[in-house]
Amino acid sequence: MYIYNVTINIDDTVHNEWLTWMETHILEVLNTGKFTSAKLTQVLVEEEMGGKTYAIQYTTNSREDLEAYYFEDAEHLQIKSLQKFGDKMLAFRTELRLIKEFYPTNTKN
């Protein structure tokens, strides 16, 4: 399993508009058929530059699906977000490969 992680710092002046728009954008990314799920999370740090920071984690089953996303969809979708929010957002992307998931072996009540 692979995770395509997009971390975005968004300026406070467009935060609410961006957050609403992101729900539609995430669904648009998912509807490319390259990902199986997505999580929208807020990064809980105080940024020196201000704004709020979020991480969106898109899960895919294969490296080939991720490469197909880059080749077929990524540029178009990234341009849409830049056209809408321009210098009010700063994004960087990382790729993660899931090695193993762990769960508790016992639970205490």
pLDDT tens by residue, 81-91: 999 999 999 99
Paired residues of 40 in beta bridges: 56
Which tokens sit at 91? 């994004």
Strands (E), 1-109: 2-10, 37-43, 52-60, 89-97
Q: How far apart are CA 12 and CA 14, in angstroms?
A: 5
- Residues in the chain, pLDDT under 50: none
Would you state the pLDDT for residue 44?
Answer: 94
Q: Which CATH number fits domain 2-97: 3.30.499.10, 3.40.50.1100, 3.30.70.100, 3.40.50.720?
A: 3.30.70.100
Name the pTM for this structure: 0.89
Give the start-to-end residue ranges of the domains of the chain. Answer: 2-97
Which tokens sit at 41? 């999370």
**Closest to 26 measured CA to CA, from 6, 10, 3:** 6
Would you state the pLDDT for residue 35?
Answer: 97
DSSP tally for the chain: helices H, then strands E:
3, 4
